[in-house]
Amino acid sequence: MKKILLICVTYHSDEALHMFVESVHRAAHRVEGRMQVDIEIADNGLDNKGYLGGALPVYNAKAQGYDFVSISNVDLQLAEDFFEQLLTTDTASIGWIAPDIYTDKISRHENPYMLIRPTKRNFFIWNIIYRNTFIYRLYHCLYLIKSRKKKTYPACNIYAGHGSFMLFTQAFVAHHPQLKFPGFMYGEEIYFAELTRLVPLHVWYIPTLCIANTGNVNTGVIKQKQKSAWSRQSLRAIYKAFFE
**Does the pLDDT of residue 58 top 90, yes or no?**
yes
- CATH number (1.10.630.10, 3.10.105.10, 3.20.20.80, 3.90.550.40) of 2-242 reads 3.90.550.40
pLDDT at 217: 44
Give 108-160 pLDDT, tens digit per residue. Answer: 899 999 999 999 999 999 988 888 777 777 777 776 666 665 678 999 999 99
Residues of the chain with pLDDT > 90: what percent? 74
β pairing state of 165-169 and 94-103:
antiparallel
**Does the pLDDT of residue 223 top 80, yes or no?**
no
Which of 191, 195, 230 is closest to 50 using CA atoms? Answer: 230
For residues 241 and 182, what is the distance between their CA atoms, to the nearest angstrom? Answer: 9
Instruction: For the full predicted model, state whether its pTM sits above 0.85.
Output: yes
Position 222 confidence tier, pLDDT thresholds 50, 70, 90: low
Residues 6+ apart with CB under 8 A from 184: 50, 53, 230, 233, 234
**Does the pLDDT of residue 216 top 50, yes or no?**
yes
Give 28-47 pLDDT, tens digit per residue. Answer: 999 999 999 999 999 998 88
Give 61-75 pLDDT, tens digit per residue. Answer: 999 999 999 999 999
Residues of the chain with pLDDT > 70: what percent? 94
Long-range contacts of 125-131 (CB under 8 A, 24+ apart): 126/231, 126/235, 127/232, 127/235, 127/236, 130/228, 130/229, 130/231, 130/232, 130/235, 131/228, 131/232
pLDDT at 149: 59
pLDDT at 111: 96
pLDDT at 120: 95
Query: What does pLDDT average to over the chain?
Result: 92
Establish whether the linkage from the previous residue to 200 is cis, with ω within 30° of 0.
yes
pLDDT at 218: 44
